[in-house]
Chains A and B, each alone.
Chain A
Amino acid sequence: MYISGYDNYYARTYRILSNIIISPPPAESADEVRYDEHMIRSVAHPQSSAWHRAHLARHRRAWVLMAGVVIAVAFLLVSGYFKGVSWPTLGMAVVNTPYRLALAYGIALMLGVSLALLVGWSPFADALFPVFDILQNIPSFALIPLFIYFFGYTTQMIILFAISSIVWPILFSILTAIKNAHRDLNDAATIFGARGFRRIFAYLAPLSLPAILTGSIVGIAIGWESVIGAEIIVNNISGFGAFIRSAGISGINQSAIAGIFVILIIVFAVNRMVWAPLLVESSRRYAE
């Protein structure tokens, strides 16, 4: 079987998205409304009420499990397990790493969205797909030495490297959404006047919104890995990666574990409280 960067992207998307999607309940009214085979469907959106029930149950179990984790951490804290942990350093890491990630995400979002819309709008989209397929096959960490060569062991390097890994899922999900848009919807946009540059803002951009959302979720999940990984490599810097690394090297395992718990809680909270509601909103709005 031919596996492209594209399929690779899908496997990752599915893994990350299925973890945080809560599907909205199926349409109230409607018999034919949601299940009509001619309807236009968007990416990664719920298909049936059985799907909905399964994922809701999964979602609840995750909350329960997470509550258990928080209780366990609190218990360890009270029992004095985390005594040797340098909390101010960890506190700075809590600020710095997400800040780098946010910056990288912001730039990758602008870059990815504008590039994807331009490519999707241009008549060369089909020709450019294989190019992106190949580029996206490069494991991002293989690029770290190159980034270090150009930018040294600096914060800029971390951010630029993170951008280079976050931009792909955003780019791909938008290109996919544009490519998979129903032909009739495309035709409707053309017939009713969405031509030339106007097509980008009136048709392609709103069409891509759910894809921008899912691409962002996947991108940020990858971005955490990139930023922390790069921080571990850069080391001499304030951030989760460097914190965990120095804790590991100096043998203070409690510090490393405390760091991991803090990241876990932050990522979980952001996923459930920011992305999940946005996904629900987008699937409700874009469901057809």
Chain B
Amino acid sequence: MPHESPEMALVFSRVSARFDDEGDKSVSVLKEVSFSIPTGSFMSLIGPSGSGKSTLMRVLLGLMPHENGTIVRNFSRSAMVFQNYALFPWLSALDNVAFGLRMEGMPRKERERIAREKLQEVGLEHLEKHYPAALSGGQRQRVGLARALAIAPDLLIMDEPFSNLDTITVEALKTDLLKIWRNYGMTILMVNHLIPDAIELSDQIIVMGAHPGCIKETISINLPRPRDPRSERFFKEVDYLTSIIRSVS
């Protein structure tokens, strides 16, 4: 059961949310969602479309109001990485990464130093002057990740960050992401649509059901890290999770 405790970065307790559709019809998108994320853990959300994963993130970030229920936010700063990157096309890679710091009023020199550092961490220091349009999908996502890291978040939210990218790019990004997570120790909440990816990365996986979005099952993945996605135990987890997802959709 979710409960308020200092070790939890985030607690959702019976949170519901509605969308105002056309006219006076309103659609329930989240129904009594309860879960909690231990501080420093890697949590994945998985579920069919219509299960309110994106809504959940927007509610959690305060971008959308929720109808009822309680949200305990036990983190000081959150940042987000988007499925379609959502980089500002009028800013260079460096300025994109420095955007959050600029909004805090940090002087140019200081914020560019930090932004360069973050670009280096994601392996793109040579592309700092490039505009997003001149970057590949994988590079854009790395800039998006660097932009999130720049504001030193203790909760990093990722909305299907890999779904627009090819497999090779995804493999490299996953490795880097795990490295970053180890170094920073922040809490990560990721929406994921691939079962093996979710198992390879996460401590816990929340399986959501659709119409309205609700939590069907929370699964802990206890495989030791680094995880070998071709080991027998890994396959067993994949099978188990697949069977659960089949049963809910």
Chain A residues within CB distance 8 Å of chain B:
27, 29-30, 32-33, 36, 38-40, 42, 182, 184-185, 187-195, 198, 202-203, 206-207, 209, 284-288
Residues from chain B with a CB closer than 8 A to the CB of A184 are 82-84, 86
Q: Which of the residues B63, B131, B137 comes within 8 Å of A187, measured between beta carbons?
A: B63
Chain B residues within CB distance 8 Å of chain A:
58, 61, 63, 78-80, 82-84, 86-91, 99-100, 102-104, 131-133, 136-137, 147, 151, 164
A181 to chain B minimum Cβ distance, whole angstroms, is 10
Residues from chain A with a CB closer than 8 A to the CB of B151 are 192-193
5 sample A-B contacts, Cβ–Cβ < 8 Å, listed by A number:
A36-B164, A39-B84, A185-B86, A187-B58, A203-B88
Do residues B133 and A193 form an inter-chain contact, with CB atoms below 8 A? Answer: no
Describe A's contact surface by its main secondary structure: helix
Do residues A192 and B89 form an inter-chain contact, with CB atoms below 8 A? Answer: no
A212 to chain B minimum Cβ distance, whole angstroms, is 12
Residues from chain B with a CB closer than 8 A to the CB of A209 are 90
Do residues A286 and B100 form an inter-chain contact, with CB atoms below 8 A? Answer: no
Shortest 3 CB-CB distances between A and B: which pairs?
A193-B103, A192-B100, A184-B86
Q: In the complex, A191→B131 CA distance in Å?
A: 21
Residues from chain B with a CB closer than 8 A to the CB of A287 are 89, 133
Q: In the complex, A207→B88 CA distance in Å?
A: 8
Residues from chain B with a CB closer than 8 A to the CB of A206 are 88, 90-91
User: Among the interface residues B58, B86, B104, which one has the most CB atoms of the partner chain A within 10 A?
Assistant: B86
User: Among the interface residues B61, B82, B91, B102, which one has the most CB atoms of the partner chain A within 10 A?
Assistant: B82
Residues from chain B with a CB closer than 8 A to the CB of A42 are 89
With A184-B82, A188-B82 known as contacts, the answer to whether A193 contacts B100 (CB < 8 A) is yes
Do residues A187 and B90 form an inter-chain contact, with CB atoms below 8 A? Answer: no
Q: In the complex, A144→B152 CA distance in Å?
A: 58
Q: In the complex, A188→B79 CA distance in Å?
A: 9
Q: In the complex, A124→B211 CA distance in Å?
A: 31
Q: In the complex, A29→B84 CA distance in Å?
A: 19
Do residues B133 and A288 form an inter-chain contact, with CB atoms below 8 A? Answer: yes
